[in-house]
Each structure stands twice: as structure tokens, then as C-alpha cells.
Chain A
């Protein structure tokens, strides 16, 4: 075997192993990123909310989290097949109606669902706040979601504040955390 060929093969092998290690590291980092985010919120830190840009369920275009800067945002992750999502839907719509004139926006993020089922759900519960579709489940990993529904609160500076709810959220919890999101500054 020629010396040049030998060096080329060795360099190729090292490069391949480095690439695989980098891919593994990236995957581990991304998985932990979401899990750490939930931990930071639970411990009272105010980490920046992972940004996203998703299509609206009604086909009205896309909405990005960055475009909502300056408003308190209630992020509700849901699916039509999820029982607790049905329980909390009227509370979320009522909170939207109570707060929509005060720089607050409720955003529903529909995950792991069929478009038709999600639209039927929106019609059935009369939801008028923006509902976005995350077909690829991008926010699932970035926010470290454990199940549906989950509700998070973003303050006017784009940071996650207050409590994080796994399961249905009540009117009292919504009001309390919306107030916190409006008042809190990092």
C-alpha cells in the first residue's frame, strides 16, 4: 500500500469518527436543551423562550414568537385527541377574551394531530386565539415537552416566566401567570 493512500485512508477514518461523534454530541445537546429549559423555569429562572415560526391552522400565514415581542404570551401545546385539552380549551378562550386588550396573546400550538381534527376542535370549542401547527414536532423537543397539554408563559421580553403547567390549566392559574408575565422583567 502506498504511503499516500495509507495517510488518506487514516485521515478519512479519523474524519468519519469525528463526524459521528459530533452528530452524537449534537443530538445529546439538543435533547438536554429542552429538558434543562423546563428545569430552569421550574427553579424560577427566566430563560429565553425558544423561538419558532409556525403556520396558522386556518392557513392565514405564519406567526413567529419574535413577532410577539412586547406582549405577554400564553403558549398552550395541545392536540384534539387529548382529553385534558378539551377540559382547558374553554378556560383558554375565556382568558384570551379577558386579556386580549392588554398586550396579552394566547397562542395554541397544535402537535401530533390531523389538520381536520384540529380544525374541528377549534370550531367545537369556539377558539378565536391564534392556533399554530407544529407538524414536525419542532417545539416538542425545544421546550422539552413531556405530554399534552402543557402551558408556558412568555414575558414581554421573550423570557419564560411563572409556572409551567403539565395538564389542564385553570382560570386562576392563567390570570396569575399572565399578570406575572406582564410585570416581570429579566
Chain B
């Protein structure tokens, strides 16, 4: 258990390292993939429009000035609105875009699980009572009458 926990923490730390470095010291290539050109509606990496060139120049300036990725994105959102981001921010109303697919998957999983359980019950063959010697159990009323007849016969 402790070993598994240690491994999980180690993996999380290794994964978090590059993310933190990318946030603190972003590159133009990274941001070109995460920012949308407002005229052509593709990422900056795919656009050669005049405004895309201007935005690239702005990003270079801000990187040189030491801005973090979040600060650069925030300044671009101030200028062009949230539609400038390739992925919506994980806050406010936009958080729904991230959460809804997860909720959908969870609901679908629950529904499929319930249906599978129902189908498996409906199709499962009736298990014979081990005490009935492989035969189907008798109706309780019939069994009672049989016991009475047997008792009379024994007497």
C-alpha cells in the first residue's frame, strides 16, 4: 500500500514538473497551439493572417518581458474575448464544457451497468435446489400434502 502511494506521488511530481515549467516559461510554439486567430478561427500555428502575425509578435514581447503563460493568455482574452482560447477556461460557466462530458460518461456508465444487471438476471437459468436432487422444487402446498400422505402411509 505504502509502495503504491509512493509511486503515485512520484508519478504526479514527475508529471507536474514540465507543466509548472511551461506555465512559468512558456514558448511561442506552445501558445501558438493554445490561442485562436480571431479572423480565421484556427490556432495561431495554422494561421498566417496579419492579425495572427501581430499576435505572435505580442506573445514574443510578453515572453521576453517574463510573463507567465496565464498572464499572456489573460491579456489576449482582455483584447479579443474568451473565444481567443483554443480550450475554454476551467472556471465559471466555461467549466461546464469540461464537466458535462464527464457527467455524461458517468451517467452512461450507470445506465449501462443497470441495464447489464437487469439483462443478466433475466437470462440467468434457474438454479436447481441442491436438496431437490436436480428436480424443480415442489409447490409448498403440494409438499405439505405429500408429507401428510407419507405420514399416513408410515402409520
Q: A-side interface residues toward B, CB under 8 Å?
A: 1, 5, 9, 12, 79, 81-82, 112-115, 117, 135-137
Contacts and interface: CB of A to CB of B under 8 A. Distances in A.
Contacts of A135: 78-81
Contacts of B79: 113-115, 135
B118 interface: yes
Interface string B55-89: 00010000000000000000000111101000000
A9 B81 CA distance: 37
Given A81-B54, A113-B51, A136 B81 contact: yes
A81 B50 CA distance: 6
Interface in B81-139: 81, 83, 107, 111, 114-115, 118
Given A135-B80, A136-B83, A137-B81, A112 B51 contact: yes
Q: Which of B50, B83, B115, B118 is the most central at the interface, judged by chain A CB atoms within 10 Å of its CB? A: B50
Tell me the interface secondary structure of chain A in the complex: loop
Closest 8 CB pairs of A and B: A136-B81, A81-B50, A112-B38, A1-B114, A135-B81, A112-B51, A81-B51, A114-B79
Given A115-B79, A135-B79, A135-B81, A1 B54 contact: no
A82 B50 contact: yes
A137 B54 contact: no
Contacts of A1: 114-115, 118
Contact of B51 (A12, A79, A115): A79
Given A1-B118, A137-B38, A137-B81, A114 B50 contact: no
A110 B4 CA distance: 57
Given A135-B78, A135-B80, A135-B81, 5 more contacts: A136-B80, A136-B81, A136-B83, A137-B38, A137-B80
